[in-house]
Amino acid sequence: MVIATFNASSTLQECLDSITGQDFPDIEILVADGGSTDGTADVIVRNAARIAWSCSGPDGGIYDAWNKAVAMARGEYVMFLGADDALESATTMSRVFALIGDREFDLVSGIGVLVDDAGVGYHRFGGAWNHRKVGRRMTICHPGALHRRDLFDRFGCFDTSYRICADYDFILRLPQDTRALFFDAPIARIRDAGVSRRRRMQALRERYRAQSSCPRIGPAFAALYYLDKLWRIPVARLLGIPN
């Protein structure tokens, strides 16, 4: 379980508690902190016995932090949670691995629940991984998705030149024969404060770059997808639809 933090002292403990409170015992927690100044380091120290690895210091952003943690991960799967996210319930991971059973998958995704500042869920999102559909947009909920660790050996780490869409860029690299499983229930509760939701236009531009660089999409289709998304953003805001 990888958590990237920066000045997250108000939410990190809840995130950690949602992990350590699981009834599934085999969870390794890795925390990469970007040199917080608000007490986040104190939270990490207080939970040191429950954290397998941590580091603190200036980094190149969330994807640089993720890459550092992935390099230290020893589990079969790697999951990424934001410091203000939490697993849905104490039985989430045991239910996910019960569904996996003895089978092997490259990617296991589920449903994410957006929550407001009071922790009240108001929107669910995330569907099954689909090689064709993911070329148009991110169809899976990335927070809470399990990535088989050797995917990063086979397809590289996160591209730190992205500030928002390196996770989508990584997903676009996965081939058609990716062994994927969909857990049709909430995995993570996600506070609606992520950078991709606050910086819509930057996210849209980065998504265009990721799609343009993907050999199976290219600049022409990426431009069409860009324009299609561009008009949907203000319409969704007008209608009050999470987008």
What tens digit of pLDDT does each residue of 167-224 get? Answer: 999 999 999 999 999 999 999 999 876 555 567 889 999 999 999 999 999 999 999 9
Task: Tell the residue number behind the tokens 């999102």, with chain if given.
Answer: 125
Residue 122 token pair: 């108001």
- The 10 Å Cβ neighbour count of residue 232 is 12
Residue 30 token pair: 């890795």
Q: Given a cut of 80, is residue 119 above it in pLDDT?
A: yes
Length of the chain: 243
CATH superfamily of the 2-194 domain: Spore Coat Polysaccharide Biosynthesis Protein SpsA; Chain A (3.90.550.10)
Question: What is the predicted pLDDT for the residue at 241?
Answer: 59
Output the CA–CA distances (angstroms, integers) from residue 230 to 48, 236, 243, in the order listed.
44, 11, 11
Distance CA 64, CA 30 (A): 14
What tens digit of pLDDT does each residue of 15-39 get? Answer: 999 999 999 989 999 999 999 999 9
Question: What is the predicted pLDDT for the residue at 230?
Answer: 79
What tens digit of pLDDT does each residue of 127-152 get? Answer: 999 999 999 999 999 999 999 999 99
What tens digit of pLDDT does each residue of 6-15 get? Answer: 999 999 999 9
Question: What is the predicted pLDDT for the residue at 89?
Answer: 97
**Residues 6 or more apart in contact with residue 131 via CB below 8 angstroms:** 174, 175, 176, 178
- Per-domain residue ranges of the chain: 2-194
Core vs surface per residue 45-55: b (16+ CB within 10 A) or e: eebeeebebbb
Output the CA–CA distances (angstroms, integers) from residue 77 to 2, 24, 104, 155, in the order listed.
11, 14, 10, 15
User: pLDDT-based confidence at 116, cuts 50/70/90?
Assistant: confident
Output the CA–CA distances (angstroms, integers) from residue 153 to 67, 70, 111, 148, 158, in the order listed.
12, 10, 26, 10, 11
